[in-house]
Structure 1
Amino acid sequence: MPKKQTYADLGDACATAHAMDVIGDRWSMVIARELLLGPRRFADLASAVVGITPAVLTSRLKALRNSGVVEQARLDDLGQTRVYRLTEWGQGLEDVMRSLGHWAQHSPGFPVDGSMTPDGVIVAMRTMAPYATMSEWGDGPVRMAIELHDERRPAAGVRRYALHWDEDLFELAEGADDAPATTTVAADSSAWAGVVFAGAPVGTIGIEGDRRAVERVAAAYATIA
């Protein structure tokens, strides 16, 4: 198979053109999205990137490694599990996704149906976070534990995240917050996306604790529509 020509090969020195050479192939940005919250095993990526084949995933990971976006590492566990993670430069793609997400919101062909992975929803919440403090939607900060599963992939289990949102801080990350959560959400990832991004009623998901906190978060994200 002949080598694919890059924009640089064609004499185009534009930085945006180079960016498309790096992450413009189908699946590349989706793989990066699934790595934004932390390292993942090949099997994790193969399950989360819906529709990709193992051969294509292997090819895309190799290309992303050669470009300096992704690197391999080993976890500090008994099995020394091999994982993939974004490089420091690759982490900068979160800013790119933020801009692309806001741009895509106004697409005349934006898909209104479909599903999202747990990491996909959380990355979307991070990149699309409204520029507002929680005080605009009620009193006090929000400390929320978010437990998401993907009904399409029951074997993948539950992923856990922590949201801390107050006057001066918005933090949404994988794992648990240092301070105890006042609210816990447990839901299918697509159902949670419906509440946050599509105005679905909060009664469609499982909530323990402060239900009002969930309503406040949903109200804040409604401003980006």
Structure 2
Amino acid sequence: MKKRAYQDGCAVAHALDIIGDRWAMPIMRELMLGPKRFTDLRASLPGISANVLTQRLEELEAASILVRRRLPPPAASQIYELTDWGRESEILFQVLGRWACRSPTMQPGQPMSNVSVILSMRTMIDRGRIGDMSAVIGMRFGEEEFRGTLKDGDFTIERGEADGADAIFSGDQNALVAVLYGGLRFDDVAGVLTVEGDRGLAERFVRLFPLPPRAPSTVTPETTAS
């Protein structure tokens, strides 16, 4: 069945035509740090069915946002990856993320994928707090590793080996989220998140991601009841 379009000349309306369907943006998010197989995408998006994932991948491919290709032997598996233009959409995720985290109805504590956690740090980093910090931060979540660099007042993080970093977080990515954004201390998540290396650096690092204040709610108990 052909998708319904807004038939509106506004570029924002066109953006919604191509990425406004349910699951389109989470799929793009999961590919932001590099290509993935179909099974990897399903594992990182547990709420999506195989049929819906297939449909969204086909639609995003038709929109030139992603491409699929087959790896050479011995892997010989099919992967999906964003096009250069598709990767440019990261700014959309950052703007939407900063805006949505102020929502008075956003519920904390919802699970986040590994990629979602990494992109959240790219989004929420307060570069004004970095100062003269210069360090390498490693992260191990399951079978995935990431390597971040604090240098010259900036912060970058990509997939990469955690070994050799000045401080390394290992374990449950959602435990790190609870420390970064939920106000928990490392002692509160002991057993599910470990910190190797410079503990003082790790403590300073997790304070670089302040959340903005929530927007005021306009909903009253009377409004909800009606």
**TM-score in terms of structure 1 length:** 0.87
Aligned residue-pair number: 209
The whole-number CA distance in structure 1 between the counterparts of 2:26 and 2:172 is 19
1:206 aligns with 2:197: no
Contact 2:127 2:154 in 1 (8 A): no
8 Å contact kept, 1:121–1:193: yes
Conserved in 2, the CA contact under 8 Å of 1:141 and 1:165? yes
Aligned residue for 1:116, secondary structure, equals coil
Residue by residue, what CA displacement relative to the aligned partner does 1:2-44 show, whole Å, maximum 9, x if unpaired?
Answer: x232012xxx100000000111001011001100000000000
Q: Could you say what secondary structure the match of 1:13 adopts? A: coil
Picking from 101, 110, 127, the partner of 1:114 is 110
Deviation, 1:166, is 2.0
Contact 2:68 2:79 in 1 (8 A): yes
Cα distance in 2, alignment partners of residues 223 and 53 from structure 1? 32
Quick one: distance in 1 between partners of 2:169 and 2:26?
Answer: 25
Per-residue CA deviations over 1:160-199 (Å, capped at 9, x if unaligned) read 000101224321001127x931111102011111111222
Residue number in structure 2 paired with 1:192? 176
* Sequence identity percentage: 34
Specify the alignment match of 2:216 in structure 1.
none
Please give the alpha-carbon distance, in whole angstroms, between the structure 1 residues aligned to 2:153 and 2:161: 20
Alignment of 1:128-147 (within 5 A): 128-135=124-131, 140-147=133-140
The answer as to 2:66 corresponding to 1:70 is yes
Deviations 1:44-73 (A, max 9, x none): 001111210000000000000001111112
Distance change >3 Å, CA 48–CA 99, structure 1 → 2: same
The amino acid that maps onto 2:136 is R
Partner letter of residue 156 of structure 2?
A: E
Distance 2:111 2:12 in 1: 30
Aligned to 2:166, which of 182, 187, 192? 182
Structure 2 residue 12 is matched with structure 1 residue 16? yes
Cα separation, 2, equivalents of 1:107 and 1:81: 40
Measure the CA separation in 2 of the matches of 1:43 and 1:140: 39
2:6 match: 7
CA contact (8 A) 1:142 1:182 kept: yes
1:143-154 to 2 correspondences below 5 Å: 143-149=136-142
> Quick check: 2:127–2:155 contact (8 Å CA) kept in 1?
no
Q: What is the Cα deviation at residue 142 of structure 1?
A: 2.2
Unaligned runs of 5+ residues in structure 2 are 214-226
For residue 129 of structure 1, report the CA deviation from its aligned partner.
Answer: 2.0
TM-score normalised over the length of structure 2: 0.86
The answer to whether the Cα contact below 8 Å between 1:134 and 1:142 also exists between their aligned partners in 2 is: no
> Which is further off, 126-135 or 50-59?
126-135
Residue in 1 that maps onto 2:24: 28
Mean Cα deviation higher: 76-85 or 24-33:
76-85
User: Does structure 2 conserve the Cα–Cα contact (< 8 Å) formed by 1:199 and 1:218?
Assistant: no
**Is the 8 Å Cα contact of residues 126 and 172 (structure 1) preserved in structure 2?**
yes
Q: Which amino acid aligns with 1:221?
A: F
Which residue of structure 1 aligns with residue 222 of structure 2? none
SS at match of 2:36: coil
Which residue number in structure 1 is paired with residue 93 of structure 2?
97
